[in-house]
Amino acid sequence: MLKLIKEVMRVGDATVPYPFVKVDVAPGFRGKPEYDPVQCIACAACVIACPPNALSMETNLESGTRTWSIFYGRCIFCARCEEVCPTGAIRLGDDFELASFSRDDLTVRADFRLAACSECGAYFASAKSLDRVLSLLDQAGLPPESADDRKALLHMCPECRRKTDLPRVKPIVQEAFDGRL
């Protein structure tokens, strides 16, 4: 018995007195997804990728708003959202203590404004995602006339874009079609 006590004292504590002390997690640990609404452009890529539908998005075309939300109660910490997010707005962190008495404590929401079509006025896309596409277009270094045309189209809803672009595209398609006959 004395030998056993000596061995226990030699080895020391084999466990951590959690939750009274903080536990360090391993590198690459997949904990609670941390969300930054400032970086988010409401593109919905994470919502489409999330396997258990922990992420959702509601678009209100009357008020021109879109609400992004995450319900941690459904999250399986797979990191698909982090993989697909184009802006780094959502990343899995170290936090794993998610127990709560209230469903609301497990939900985070953010509201975004929608862009209105320059032709018909209908809301059609998140204003922040449109701004991002426009800035990527600027970085692409296109000739000014070509860039201006594309920017004008990007400010339109898909329906108005089709109608506006049809006269330009029609002869090109027709020519390609004729060439194949």
Residue ranges in contact with ligand SF4 by CB under 6 A: 33, 40-46, 49-52, 54-55, 68, 70, 75-81, 84-85, 87, 89-90
| Residue 19 CB, nearest approach to ligand SF4 (Å) | 23
CB 109 within 8 A of CB 40: no
| Region of residue 42 (left: phi > 0; alpha: psi -120 to 50; beta: else) | left
Closer of 81 and 125 to ligand SF4 (Cβ): 81
| Residue 111 CB, nearest approach to ligand SF4 (Å) | 12
Closer of 70 and 160 to ligand SF4 (Cβ): 70
Strands (E) located in 47-93: 55-60, 65-71, 90-92
Nearest to 53 by CA among 30, 36, 78: 78
Closer of 51 and 121 to ligand SF4 (Cβ): 51
| Residue 92 CB, nearest approach to ligand SF4 (Å) | 6
| Residue 171 CB, nearest approach to ligand SF4 (Å) | 37
Phi, psi of 176 (to 5 degrees): -65, -40
| Residue 76 CB, nearest approach to ligand SF4 (Å) | 5
As a whole number of angstroms, the longest Cα–Cα distance in the chain is 97
